[in-house]
Structure formats: C-alpha cells, structure tokens
Structure 1
Amino acid sequence: MPVTLRPLPAQAPAGPGMRQSRHLLVVGAEVEAEEVELLALSRFPTTRWEVPPTPGRDGVLEPGLLRTSRHTALRGPYASNGGRGGSVFVVSCPRERGEPPFPGGGDRDGLGRAFPAGLPVREEDRVVRWLVAAARRLAGTAVLDGVVVTPDPDAQIDLTVYSDVWLEPEAALAVARHVDARTVYAPGGEDWAGPPAHLVSPADLDAADAAELHAAADDVDIAALTSPEALSGYALHLPLGLDGLVVVEIAGEELLPVSLRGLPWADGGAIAYRVRWVPDDFTELEEERPPTAHRIARGRAAISVAKLTGALHDVVGGEIADQSEFLVARSDL
C-alpha cells in the first residue's frame, strides 16, 4: 500500500546564523528512505537519523531528519508536487560559492548550468556532487538552486573491483580473454633518459662518503638479485573498434571508498581492478548530453565493462563500486 506523504514545505528551516542553500532530491515512489540513507553513508560516514520518518496519528508519514554532517541535513520524504507520484528530500547545507565555471570546459553533471555565477566549494560542493550521484543511481532528479538536473543513469559505466587478492598478469589476462579473446596486455614502457642532472657527482664525495655510498649500493644490488621482481601494477586493453577501448587497470590502493571502511580485508588498502571505457572522442565524456553516436557506443561498451568486472569479481571476490563509489551487487551487473 502506498505511503501518504506530507506536502513539500515552501521553505526549509536554516541553521541559526548560517547562510543556507536549499536543494532537492526527487526520487520515484519505489525508493525507500533507507536507500537514500545508504547512499549518504557511502559518502558521509557520520550520517545518522536524528529523527527517523514515522507514521503520524493521521496515518501520514512524518518526514525524518537525516544529518550527514554538523551543518548539512536532509529532511523528508515529502510528497512530490511535480506530478511524478514520487517523493522529495530537502537538503539544507552551507552556501559556499567560488569562481564561475571555466569557459568552454565540460559540464557532464550540469553544475555549470546550475551555478553560472559561482560553483559550489567545500561542504556545498561535496553535497551537490553527492546529490547528482544519488539522483543518477536512483534514476531521479536533483534540483540545485531551482535548476533541474536529471543525470542519465547510463552515463557512467566504469566499475572497480576492490579485493585482497592479487592476480598476476597472466592470470588476469586469462580471465579477461575468457570474456573477450581480443584482450591484450597494455603497451607501455619508455626509454630511459639518463640520470637527472642534479645528482651529486662522485668527485664531490670524500673517501669515507664514497665508501659508505658503495656499500649501500652493494646492499641494494644484492637485495635486487636475490628477491623476485615486485610488480606494483599493470593494465589490459580490450579494443572495441569504433566503440573505443576498455582498459583494465590493476594496482594497489590505500585510499578506498568510504563504503569499504570497517571491512577487515580492506584495512590498510586493497587491490583495485578498475574497468573503464575510453571512447574515441574523450571530450564527449564531459558533455551533459553527448551525441547519439556516443551513447550507442557507450551502451555497447557497458556490456563489455560489466562482463569483465563480473568475471574478475568471480575470481578475486571483494566488493564492486561504481564511479560514484557506491557499491554494486554482483547480481546487478
């Protein structure tokens, strides 16, 4: 049975002595308040319900207060007055603006269109970017300073597997080639240009310093000769012809998404298997509404990205995250 919601207030209350911005997150009727809470926790770890949504005596759901930081809170859900039959969360945060958008730059999230006089900075920047990401994930809409931004849910197809399992290049290539035989090792390597010019010359060292330097060098050489070669990262390429290229980048990472905090295997870092799409025209990735040809190529590339990500996850386990660092279930790929 659908839940009856309170009407959206004309103005949200602001914090005392603080200049506030009022933004909206509009989602479908099927979206539960707990889903919004989980997405907020994925970006703001101190998120908590100060007042959870609760049914009133008249059977109408009383809006809750979800606080993401000391100065930012979401109130809702309220009834949508846009005729969509959905719900609205009102977001109050500090109004913090910087410079106008750079002329001619990309605007894939529509922020330049929403804030032509000055882009949000600091707390408001973090909140606004989360709002757009949440709207994309929930197939909803963000209303930023009265400007409607409806991000395309299919615009971001890159995925990352975080795991505590390291795959050697041969193993990763075998997994990827099981998905698509066209996968190859990424070309790489550069010719050495010689030592930097600022290095100390041996002629500048006295006998004692030179002996110490040679002894240290010998220790390094012995360690290098008696230890297996350490590989810190590598990449695979899957060429898609006119649809561009899918790149799989494998490396260790210490800075992990907030959503992975508290997982014992991710304590101190993890191995990241980044699967991303590189179109022929890279600039089109930064367009809020890219051309039809780009969207068609992106749709086909998304299939390869999902299959590669799923195959890697089946082997190494761990968690899958999208470009917004929201977790993705393996069954949803």
Structure 2
Amino acid sequence: MSQSQVDLPGDLDGRHVLVVPRGTDVVALAAAWFPDAAWERPPVSRAEAAATARPMTGARFRGIVTEEVAPAPGSLRLDASASLEGPTTLARPEAQAAGLIPQDVDLYAVVPSDEDDAPDLAHGWMSAAARRTAGAIVPADRARLVVPDPGSAVDLTLWSPVPLSAQDALPLVRPAMTGARVGPTDVPQSQQPGDGPAPFSVTGTFEYDGSITVRTGRSREVPVALSRLDWREYGPWSYHVSWHPPDPEELRSEHPSQLHLIARSRVQPSVARVAAALWRAVGGTVVDGGGFVVPADELRDRSTAGR
C-alpha cells in the first residue's frame, strides 16, 4: 500500500528510509538476513548523551558547567554492499506532520557502499522488516509512503531437530485443519536413505477459505535468522505450514479483494495453531515468511487471534 508525499529531516535526503515503531530492535531484524550485521558505530541517544555529561575542569568553571556528548545516529553494517544509519527519532506529532504512520518512530537510512550500485538485498530486507514491524518505507524521491501489509506474511516454518512420521503428525495438526489428508511432498530433498521418516505433506481444506498444507523435509541449509541461535534450538527438519487461498493470484496483489482479506483473517490463526502444535511436539524454532524468528509468545497470540 502507498500514500502521498512525505517530508523527512534534511539529513536523510537522497536515501531510502525504513520507518519502524520507536524502540524496535533493528539489529535483530538485520541479523535475520545478514549474518554479520553489527554496529560499526553505535548510536548515542539523547538520554545516553545526558548521562555522559561531565563537569568541566578548571577553577574558572567552578564545577557548574558540563560538557555534553551530542546525540548521534549510529552506523549498522548489513553486508559489504550497504549499511544502515540511524535512528533519527520522531515523536508522534512530528511523524504525523511528516506524513508517516501516526506514532513515535525511528528512521533508518540505507547507505550503499557504492553510490552507483543499488543494494538489492538491502532493499528487499527493508520491505520485509517494514512488514514484520507494521512499519513503512520512504523511497529516496519522497514521492510516497510505502506501507507493506503486515497481515500478508501468513506462512510459518518450524525448524526442529526431531523428525515426525506422517502417522505421528496427522493427529497433531488435524484439529486445526479441516478434513486433513496425507499426501506426497513435491519439495526437493537432500535426504539420504536411513536419515529418518520419508517426507510427506498434509492438506486441510476450508469451504470458503482455500486450504492449508504442511510439507516436511530435511535440508542442509537453514534460514539466516537461526545462525545466531544455539544449535539445540533448531534442526534440519522443516515443517512448512502454508496457506493456499481460493485465488492464488491475490497473494501477489498490492490491493487484494475484501473476500481474500476475510479468508486470510480466518485462516491465519489456524496456520499458527498448526505450527504451535508441531512445536510443542518436537521443539525447535518457528520462522515466518519474511525470514524472522517468531517467539513462542507471538505464536500463542497468533493462534488465539479472533477467538
């Protein structure tokens, strides 16, 4: 979704800007896509600057004048092609006056290493991060405010050290999947004979809302977001829970129909309940469609939404 012209502080001119709710952990968001993401220069907030103020020395100051460290944005390295500079903070009135989402926000500008080479991965990450946080993106030309739909990331994948057979999985997922049936999986596998139970899929259909499918498999590659976790918190066995709406083309539409949105709202809790049931059975870590870790509390909230 996009809105009209926005007006940001001048020191962000010429940059694509990520807008997130105040206090968002942008390092965690960056680490989900960029394994080496880290502050090259940590930001200094107004509160931190005030805390570091110290008395000036010398008799003529008489101990009453302080030298303050100025607040300053930080520089967060994403990869060799780009870094993120920020945050620039705006209170709700300022954000609303600028044409942004009406709440306290942090602004982060993408700074490419080569000004002539647009960092495509960084821009893709911005879209995913804005969707994940219910934030927004302001392109460099400031012509519009782009607000990715947070609800469009429906699918979830559990990565676990424990494999399940189709016979064991079916009773776990069936309560949230109407008429669930076991079938083969068409996901390419790196599995070798003797590695565990054969991969499978389970599909449940809904009269008006499409279907949900769970596909299992084993992979030597896992999402970047898992790389900073303890190895015991995930594994190579994937349980991908996906929604297939009545009209699949609507998944790619910037403005899906009202019928699609209604179906999505009814199905999303079921997707989360399936992932939660599997997680309770085999442990591991859930990752959403944007590549971000979904904590247990969030998974519970998604499962109970609409009840």
- Detail structure 1 runs of 4+ shifted over 4 Å in the superposition: 57-60, 94-97, 227-231
Residue equivalent to 1:91: 110
Give the whole-Å Cα distance in 2 for the aligned partners of 1:318 and 1:67: 29
Task: Tell me which structure has the larger Cα radius of gyration.
Answer: 1
Question: TM-score, normalised to structure 1's length?
Answer: 0.69
How far, CA to CA, are the matches of 1:61 and 1:182 in structure 2?
58
Distance 1:277 1:60, change over 3 A: farther
Could you tell me which amino acid in structure 1 is paired with residue 106 of structure 2?
Answer: S
Q: Does 2:158 align with 1:173?
A: no
Partner letter of residue 42 of structure 1? Answer: A
Q: Say which SS state the counterpart of residue 325 (structure 1) adopts.
A: coil
Equivalence for 1:51: 41
Q: C-alpha separation between the residues in 1 aligned to 2:116 and 2:237?
A: 36
In the TM superposition, residue 305 of structure 1 has moved relative to its aligned partner by 0.2
Deviations 1:282-328 (A, max 9, x none): 00000112111100000111011011010000001000000011000
The number of residues matched between the two structures is 254
Match of 1:158 in 2: 155
Query: Secondary structure of 2:131's partner?
Result: helix
Amino acid at match of 1:75: E
Unaligned runs of 5+ in 2: 1-6, 51-67, 97-101, 187-192, 300-307
Distance 1:245 1:139 in 2: 26
Q: Does 1:318 align with 2:284?
A: yes
Q: Identity of paired residues, percent?
A: 32
Aligned to 2:29: 39
The verdict on how the C-alpha distance between 1:297 and 1:52 changes in structure 2, with shifts beyond 3 A counting, is same
| Partner in structure 2 of residue 247 of structure 1 | 213
Q: 38, 46, 65: which one pairs with 2:75?
A: 65
For 1:288, the aligned partner's letter is E
Give 1:230 shift: 6.8
Q: Which residue is 1:183 aligned to?
A: 180
Q: What is the deviation of 1:266? A: 7.8
- CA RMSD after TM alignment: 2.7
Letter in 2 for 1:26: V
TM-score (norm 2): 0.75
Give the aligned partner of residue 240 of structure 2. Answer: 274
Structure 1 unmatched ranges of 5 or more: 1-6, 14-20, 98-119, 190-226
Kept after mapping to 1: 8 A contact 2:18/2:108: yes
CA 1:96 to 1:302, structure 2 compared with 1: closer, same or farther past 3 Å? farther
Which of 76, 93, 99 pairs up with 2:86? 76
**TM-superposed deviation, 1:62:** 2.2
Q: How far did residue 154 of structure 1 move?
A: 0.6
Matched letter for residue 183 of structure 1: A
Map 1:1-333 → 2, pairs under 5 A? 9-12=9-12, 22-29=15-22, 31-32=23-24, 35-54=25-44, 55-57=48-50, 61-80=71-90, 81-83=94-96, 84=102, 85-93=104-112, 94=114, 124-145=119-140, 146=142, 147-180=144-177, 182-186=179-183, 231-261=197-227, 263-265=230-232, 270-333=236-299
